[in-house]
């Protein structure tokens, strides 16, 4: 069997997108995932495509998030066509509500600042409490106003991941689950493949997309500086309720407290905790209790909703909330795409495009400069 041009390590939404974009450029790709597709953060994600709330102020996250959001309709149509899997993209709109007068004041100021920045071209509206309840009749009377952004929405993160992988496979990529990667094959300063239980797997290049486990993979490289990739696990728990149907179900977000994401099948995802507990991926009583209390504080009738399940995942957190993409210094043929934190689903397609460019020897696209791995490089120690 001919060695692939590229081995992608990790079958989350990032690795699957990278595999798809590389295969679409005509490269021979093998994706190796130790577990199943979307087994980690990408299986737990709520799938919101909501850059306006995620980015507190104009900057790289907002700019890239809006760019990504605008591409989702075309992306999902292409993935449906190539893979036969529907990622369940819904333009539901998103409402960010304020639960106190102070919060309403700062949220309104944020809306005005975003609208004033004409280059961003965001579409949003400030709603007073009555207007917010007219749009979301079940909304709590505690809501003191809201930002409404009609173009945000959501996808199913596990289905999007599978759609990328299946589309890559249709283009000739080999998708291998249950295949842990245990090391890198190095020749001098060149990375020439990976090691698995079954032996060496040579490849022209290796892309590490192992989410929160990516810094651990860099430990396979003799002398690698772990501080160049300060990615840490950030646990997120969600609960899924079965909610009575609302007339026009949109995403509802309340500051950092909680969000509600209504899915097409009647499920309502209530998210999410943000916890620094290392690689502990358990669902906890305290996590579930906090989310179950938060949901009816936004929409009171959720007090009577049925409980479906709870889950947890480890976000690959990064210090500035942005992913790190690039060629690993001093290791020819090794690339990294990790640290997507709260926005890996939203930024997955852009990441795939940017990484496909890098692997084909192009420079990182101008709009992706803020994601360059080098931003974490401090001064080198002498010697
Ligand atoms: C509760 C929660 C809610 C979220 N909500 C949203 C949201 O609404 N919108 C959004 O955009 N983002 C959201 N996120 C963030 C998003 O889920 C992540 O940014 C994204 O899933 C990261 O994808 P990834 O592929 O880098 O990592 P992961 O999905 O964690 O995938 C990494 C994969 O690498 C594999 N792996 C690790 N080591 C090896 C090895 N040695 N060999 C082979 N395979 C290996 C793992 O098994 C895993 O499958 C949420 C996250 C959580 C936890």
| SS3 category, 90 | strand
pLDDT reported for residue 382: 43
Look at 65-74, 180-189, 220-229, 342-351 and tell me which has the smallest mean pLDDT. Answer: 220-229
pLDDT tier for residue 378 given thresholds of 50, 70 and 90: low
Tell me the average pLDDT across 239-248.
84
The CATH architecture annotation of domain 94-150 reads 2-Layer Sandwich (3.30)
Element (H, E) at 324: strand 324-327
Distance between CA 266 and CA 305 in Å, rounded? Answer: 11
DSSP state of 35: S
The fourth-level CATH superfamily of domain 232-317 is: D-Amino Acid Oxidase, subunit A, domain 2 (3.30.9.10)
Determine the number of helices (DSSP H) and then strands (DSSP E) in the chain.
10, 19
Pairing between β-strand 205-208 and β-strand 6-9 as defined by DSSP bridges: parallel
Task: Answer whether CATH 3.30.1780.10 is correct for domain 6-44+158-229+320-376.
Answer: no
- Index of the ligand 1 atom closest to the CA of residue 341: 19
pLDDT tier for residue 379 given thresholds of 50, 70 and 90: low
CA torsion angle 148 152 153 154 (round to 10): -130
Tell me the average pLDDT across 80-86.
98
CB of residue 17 inside a 6 A radius of ligand 1: no
Instruction: Please report, for the chain, the start and end positions of each structural domain, with discontinuous segments joined by +.
Output: 6-44+158-229+320-376, 94-150, 232-317
Residue of 15, 152, 210, 335 to mutate, ligand 1, most atoms within 8 A of C-beta: 210
The answer, as to whether pTM is greater than 0.95, is: yes
Distance between CA 344 and CA 12 in Å, rounded? Answer: 9
Tell me: the pLDDT tens digits for 126-136? 999 999 999 99
Tell me: the pLDDT tens digits for 115-172? 888 888 899 999 999 999 999 999 999 999 999 999 999 999 999 999 999 999 999 9
Residue of 35, 53, 55, 211 to mutate, ligand 1, most atoms within 8 A of C-beta: 211
Q: Are the folds of 94-150 and 232-317 the same? A: yes
Ligand 1 centroid to Cα of residue 282, in Å, is 15
Distance between CA 355 and CA 15 in Å, rounded? Answer: 10
Residue 346 vs residues 57, 89, 304, 312: alpha-carbon distances, Å: 17, 11, 31, 19
Distance between CA 315 and CA 43 in Å, rounded? Answer: 11
Angle between helices 348-359 and 60-83 (to 10 degrees): 90
pLDDT tier for residue 246 given thresholds of 50, 70 and 90: confident
Tell me: the pLDDT tens digits for 170-222? 999 999 999 999 999 999 999 999 999 999 999 999 999 999 999 999 999 98
CA nearest to 343, candidates 115, 47, 100, 56: 47
Tell me: the pLDDT tens digits for 43-55? 999 999 999 877 7
């Amino acid at each position: 069997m001919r060695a692939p041009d590229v081995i992608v390590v990790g079958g989350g939404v990032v690795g699957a997108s990278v595999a798809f974009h590389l295969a679409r450029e005509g490269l021979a790709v093998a994706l190796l995932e130790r577990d199943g597709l979307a087994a980690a953060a990408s299986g737990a994600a709520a799938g919101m495509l909501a850059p306006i709330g995620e980015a507190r102020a104009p900057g790289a996250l907002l700019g890239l998030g809006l760019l990504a959001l605008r591409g989702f309709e075309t992306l999902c149509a292409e993935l449906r066509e190539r893979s036969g899997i529907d990622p369940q993209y819904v333009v539901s709109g998103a409402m960010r509500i304020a639960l106190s007068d102070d919060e309403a004041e700062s949220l309104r100021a944020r809306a005005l600042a975003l609208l004033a920045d004409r280059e961003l071209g965001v579409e949003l509206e400030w709603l007073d409490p009555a207007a917010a309840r007219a749009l979301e009749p079940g909304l709590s009377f505690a809501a003191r106003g809201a930002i409404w952004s009609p173009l945000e929405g959501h996808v199913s993160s596990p289905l999007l991941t599978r759609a990328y992988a299946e589309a890559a496979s249709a283009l000739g990529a080999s998708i291998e689950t249950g295949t842990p990667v245990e090391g890198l094959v190095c020749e001098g300063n060149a990375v020439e493949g990976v090691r698995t239980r079954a032996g060496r797997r040579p490849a022209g290049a290796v892309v590490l997309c192992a989410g929160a486990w990516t810094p651990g993979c860099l430990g396979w490289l003799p002398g690698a500086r772990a501080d160049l990739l300060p990615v840490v696990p950030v646990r997120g728990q969600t609960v899924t309720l079965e909610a009575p149907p609302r007339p026009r179900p949109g995403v509802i977000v309340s500051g950092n407290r909680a969000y509600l994401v209504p899915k097409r099948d009647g499920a309502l995802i209530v998210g999410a905790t943000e916890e620094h507990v290392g690689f502990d991926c358990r669902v906890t009583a305290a996590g579930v209790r906090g989310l179950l209390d938060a949901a009816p504080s936004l929409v009171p009738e959720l007090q009577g909703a049925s409980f479906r399940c709870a889950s947890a995942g480890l976000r690959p957190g990064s210090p500035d909330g942005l992913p790190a993409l690039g060629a690993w210094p001093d290791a020819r043929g090794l690339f990294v795409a990790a640290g997507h934190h709260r926005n890996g689903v939203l930024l997955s397609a852009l990441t795939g495009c940017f990484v496909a460019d890098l692997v084909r020897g192009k420079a990182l696209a101008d709009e992706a400069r803020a994601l360059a791995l080098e931003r974490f490089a401090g001064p080198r120690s002498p010697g």
